[in-house]
Structure formats: structure tokens, C-alpha cells
Amino acid sequence: MRVRPAGLLPLLSGILVSCQPPDGNKEEILVFAAASLHDTVAVFADAFAEETGTRVKVNHGSSGGLARQILAAPRADLFLSAHPRWMDEIEEAGRLRPGTRIPFLRNQLAVVSHPDSPWKADDPALLAQLDFRHLAIGDPAHVPAGTYAEEWMRSIALDGGETLWDRVKDQTIPTTTVRSALAQVRARRDTIGIVYRSDALAFPEDVHVVCLVPMAEGPDIVYPAAILADAPNPEGAQQFLDYLQSSRAAVTWHEAGFFFAP
């Protein structure tokens, strides 16, 4: 069962009054957003369109894949990445609108398993002792959740000089997005996964949380946002980005497992 952020439309009604497009502008906004933002951005997009008349189209995928699309065919207005690495690549190519890049959201890693699983591990080092067959993570080469997961596992030292990553890397199933890793866990009882806390919250009845990685002990997960230099509708993109950062929107982001970046 998927849980969408509750009470969003009533919460946002006060925000949207000030978001009316100038001169009745109905131009659409094209947002490229990391897969882990899928559910929440979709709800915000629907509410924004209903109240302002400005349609928000959202293209979801791995941040690395989205960055490649942006570099190959500049048509998006706003990029919401799950890792600074891919925003850096776009910026270095001169494809960001100057002064619009911000640290937008933060997230947290969660180790999850099938809901029938009895596994629990208060100490991350104990993960190496669980009798799972596969470990599903986003492909670290282009999926930020997988990049963060590998970084975290490399930081966990085990007996004999190995790291947790050394112990489990041959069992990994690299997936195209973090949601694909979550799907593997939901479908297979012999599989654990490392995803974002927000992903686990989106499917509370479909996954079992083995453990949360404390934010102080895990990687610093920051989602940067920026308007693109070739944006067809930069004014609309800024309006939508301001809306996503509003104080009332923060309630919905928090319900979905995200925090505003300082």
C-alpha cells in the first residue's frame, strides 16, 4: 500500500493564493526530479496546477540519467537532483541559471526487507551476519541512493580488516533507480535493500525496516535544486521552486521523510 502525504491540499491553499501566474500565464513547467521524489513532487505538481492553472510536467529517473538527458537535450526548466555530483556536472557544463542553485532537501538511509522478514539489526555491523541472499541497491555509478549506500558500507569496519561493503558487494543487485531496489525487496523474501527513509515511508505495509542509518553516522544526503540556463519558463520554474520551499510545504516534505537542507 502506497501512502501519499496526507492533508496536502488544505495545507497548501494559503500558499497557492500568492502563486497565481502573472497575466494569466498558463505556460507549462517541466521538472526533472530524482526517482525518490516521485510521490511527493507529483502531489505538489497536481496541487500547483489546480490552483494556478500552470501545468507541471515531471520527468522522474535516476539523477545520473536525468543529468545525461539535460546535457543531451536542454528542454527542462527545473532540476531536482538526489546528489550534488550530478548538479555539479550540469553546472560545470554551464547549464545552470546563475544564482538559482540551492541545497534543497536532506534524507536518510534505511535498510529494508520483505514485510515477512524477522530481521533486525541495531548495530550496522550485524548486517553481515544476516542470512539474506541478495542486497538490492541503486547502481552506485549513477543512482545517488546506491552511491550513498556504498559510501556508508565502506565506512563500517568488520573483524579481519574488511568493511561491510567488502563482505556484501558480491551479493548486490544494482538497479536503475532507488525505487527499483525497493521493488526487489518487496518481491523477494531473501533480499534486503538499502534505500531512503522516504521510500520506506511510502510503502509502510510492503517493507520491513531492518534499521535506520543515523544521520550523524551516515553520509550527508543533500538534494540540490536549480533552474536550468536554457529553461523555456524560468519564471514559472522559480515560482514552483519557491512554492516547494515554503513553510507549509515543509510539513508535507517531513511527512514524506524529507527535511529542508539548512
Fold match between domain 8-106+221-260 and domain 109-212? yes
What is the total residue count of the chain? Answer: 262
pLDDT at position 160, please? 87
- The mean pLDDT value for 162-180 works out to 95
pLDDT above 70 coverage of the chain, percent: 90
pLDDT surpassing 80 at residue 179: yes
Strands 134-138 and 172-175: parallel
Q: pLDDT value at position 103?
A: 97
Please work out, in degrees rounded to the nearest 5, the angle formed at the alpha carbon of residue 227 by the alpha carbons of 47 and 12. Answer: 20
Across the range 112-123, mean pLDDT stands at 88
Closest C-alpha to 245, from 233, 258, 235: 258
The reported pLDDT for the residue numbered 252 is: 94
CA–CA distance, 252 with 248 (Å, rounded to integer)? 7
- Extract the C-alpha cell encoding 119: 530481521
Domain ranges of the chain: 8-106+221-260, 109-212
Nearest to 80 by CA among 114, 53, 44, 121: 44
Q: State pTM to two decimals.
A: 0.85
CATH fold for domain 109-212: D-Maltodextrin-Binding Protein; domain 2 (3.40.190)
Please report the pLDDT score of residue 25 as a whole number. 44
Question: How far apart (Å, rounded) are the C-alpha atoms in residues 262 and 257?
Answer: 16
Q: Who contacts 142 (Cβ-Cβ below 8 Å, separation ≥6)?
A: 62, 63, 64, 65
pLDDT value of position 261: 92
Between CA 204 and CA 8 the distance in angstroms is: 19
How far apart CA 27 and CA 11 sit, in angstroms, is 25
Q: What is the pLDDT of residues 1-59, one digit of tens each?
A: 454 454 444 444 444 433 444 443 458 999 999 999 999 999 999 999 998 899 999 99
CATH class of 8-106+221-260: alpha beta
Q: What is the pLDDT of residue 6?
A: 44
> pLDDT band for position 225 (50/70/90)?
very high
Please give the DSSP secondary-structure letter assigned to residue 99: T
